[in-house]
Structures are given as C-alpha cells and as structure tokens.
Amino acid sequence: MASHGGDGSPHVPAPTLWPVGFAVGIAVLLVGVVLGWLIVAIGAAIAALFGFLWIREVTRPVRSTEPVAAPEPEARPATRGRKAVPEPGEGEIVRFPRSKLLEGATLGLGVVIGGIVTLPILGPALVDPFVDQGTDDVDIGALDEFPENRFVITTFLLDPEQGEVSRRTAYVRNNGSLDGQPSFTILSSRCVHLGCPVQVNGLPLDEAAKTEQIDNTVVRRIPTAAAVGFGCPCHGGQYDAEGNRTAGPPVRALDRYEFKVRNGRLLLSKTYSVGSVEGTGSEAQIKKYDLMGPGQHVDGPEAVLYPIEPPGH
C-alpha cells in the first residue's frame, strides 16, 4: 500500500546505486566461476556488501525506532445505544502500521520465490566447477609389460561409465629403478598447443601389440622402436623424448601422468602440466604445475595472463 504526502502525491523510494552494485557483484561472481576462486570471492564480497546496503535502505522505514503517534479520531456524539469513539489513552502509539507489515511481507515473499527459482540453476553452476571431478586410478598392466628404455603406446578408458568418449592415450617408458623404486616417464598424448593428439616419432611394433581386459576397461599396449621424440600432425609441434618442446607453436612441455605401483601393477593417476624437464629418465628434474589447458603458459611472465583452471577439469 503506497503512502501519500501532504499534497496527495505518493512517496517513492529515493534513488540509490545499491542495486547496481549488487548486480555488478553477481556479474563478477559468475565470471569468477570461469576464472577462479579469487574472482568468486571478490564478486561475493561486492554482492554481499551492496546487497546489505540495499536491504538496509529498503527496510529503513520499518526499522525506524521513532514512535509514530496515531491520528486522534474525532469524537462522535453518542447516539442511541452507542458511545462516542474514545480518544486514545496516554502512551498508546502505532509502532507498526499495516502498510509496513504488508510491504515487509511482500519483500520477504519475493526473496523466497526468487530463491526457489534461481537456486536450482545457480547452485550447480557455482559449485560444480570447483568440485574435484577427477577419476579413479587406472590400472594399465603389470610392470613387466613395459620394457626398459622403450616407449609403449597405451590406450585406456579414463572413465568406463562414459564409454569410448573417455578413451585416452599415454606414452609409457620404464626408466628402471631409482633408489630401489620403479621409475616411469608417462606422457600425455595431448599437444599443448591446441590439444591435437601427438604421435611417436618412431615405429610402432603393431605385431607385438597386446590387448587386456582390466576391470571395466580394455587396455591396449603397443611397444615402439627407439622413440626419439613426438610430433603433432596438426601444426608441426615437436617434442623430445622427455616431452620438452623443440620446435613449433607449443608453449611448454607435454603434460604427464602421476603413477602408482601396487601389487606389481602400474596405475595411472591425475595429470599435471610441465614447464620443462632437465635431465633424462629416472634422473630427470621436472618443473611440475597444476594441469592447465593447451596454449597456456605455466611459468614465466606470460603465466599471469591466463586464468586459474577449475580443479579436476
């Protein structure tokens, strides 16, 4: 119910910039879903601040502590069987008019309806990118299936429930042992230029290929002749046997898989990005970073120009 001024004109809320600030905060928060946690936090802080100021402004009349005296009713002369309307006694004031109650109830109902409509949509949009979506370790075979100092082209399903769309290729080389523990170099086939599959610069020994059913995935292993490196057929990117970029447009070394050895079998774990590799085989020194997308720098001054990737992407 709108209130009116003395001249009969309705009172309207004073102009305010709080809704604009709140909208800017929501926009920054949604952009942060793509860019990273820091931007999300900044957007949430902006939205919370301006949302608080906006609510405070809207509810100011309701929160006013100054008593509002009720208008004195005009006394009516008593008529047959009725008494005149009594005047309000001392201390009788109107603290919460019905119009304010209706206004507050309307705003509250609007908030509830807005939450019911938006939360089912915004909830997954805001939460899912930051939930670790990694997969379980993948068993790719017994250790003796990987001869020393020779790459084995290994294909497997990253997530058997998704089927062939999750099939991946890794280049696995047994480096022998390091301090009594097995050492492996396991390179991703994803070119770090634009994501094309790189190929071994060597001869695959197809006649020696083996296929094995392991749990819910089919693993295929193809030994190669001495591999001197890897090449991308799409744009000419070249890498050496440790995955370092040697030519073409790639901006860093090939990504690698973490691995585990359990009960004499080799298991692949999550993927990580590599800036560069110094040394070879079990003696290699790897500059390791969180997994980034193709074309993104992971070190040097260019790295600040690229957003933070969601976990487990």
Q: Are residues 146 and 79 located together in one domain of the fold?
A: no
Q: Are residues 297 and 248 located together in one domain of the fold?
A: yes
Q: Are residues 125 and 228 located together in one domain of the fold?
A: no
Q: Are residues 178 and 266 located together in one domain of the fold?
A: yes
Asked whether residue 309 carries a pLDDT value surpassing 70, the answer given is: no
| Residue finishing a domain among 107, 130, 153 | 130
Chain CA centroid to CA 119, Å: 17
| Residue finishing a domain among 113, 130, 147 | 130
Number of compact structural domains in the chain: 2
- Residue 214: what are its φ and ψ, rounded to 5°? -125, 115
Residue 81, domain member (yes or no)? yes
Which residues are CB-neighbours of 141 under 8 A, at least 6 positions away? 154, 212, 214, 219, 221, 265, 266
| Residue finishing a domain among 79, 107, 130 | 130
Computed over every residue of the chain, the mean pLDDT equals 79
Q: Are residues 148 and 183 located together in one domain of the fold?
A: yes
Q: Are residues 182 and 240 located together in one domain of the fold?
A: yes
3-class SS of residue 199: strand
Range of the domain at 253: 138-305
- For 32, other C-beta atoms within 10 Å of its C-beta total 22
pLDDT tens, position by position, 100-119: 667 777 777 777 777 776 77
In which band, very low, low, confident or very high, does the pLDDT at 97 lie, cut at 50, 70 and 90?
A: low
Q: For the ranges 23-27, 144-148, 184-188, 192-196, which has the lowest average pLDDT?
A: 23-27
Residue 200, domain member (yes or no)? yes
pLDDT tens, position by position, 155-205: 998 888 888 888 899 999 999 888 888 999 999 999 999 999 999 988 888
Of all residues in the chain, the percent with pLDDT exceeding 70 is: 73
Between helices 18-35 and 37-58, what is the axis angle to 10°? 160
For 82, 169, 223, 227, 253, the CA distances from 240, given in Å and listed in that order, are 106, 18, 18, 9, 9
Q: Are residues 68 and 151 located together in one domain of the fold?
A: no
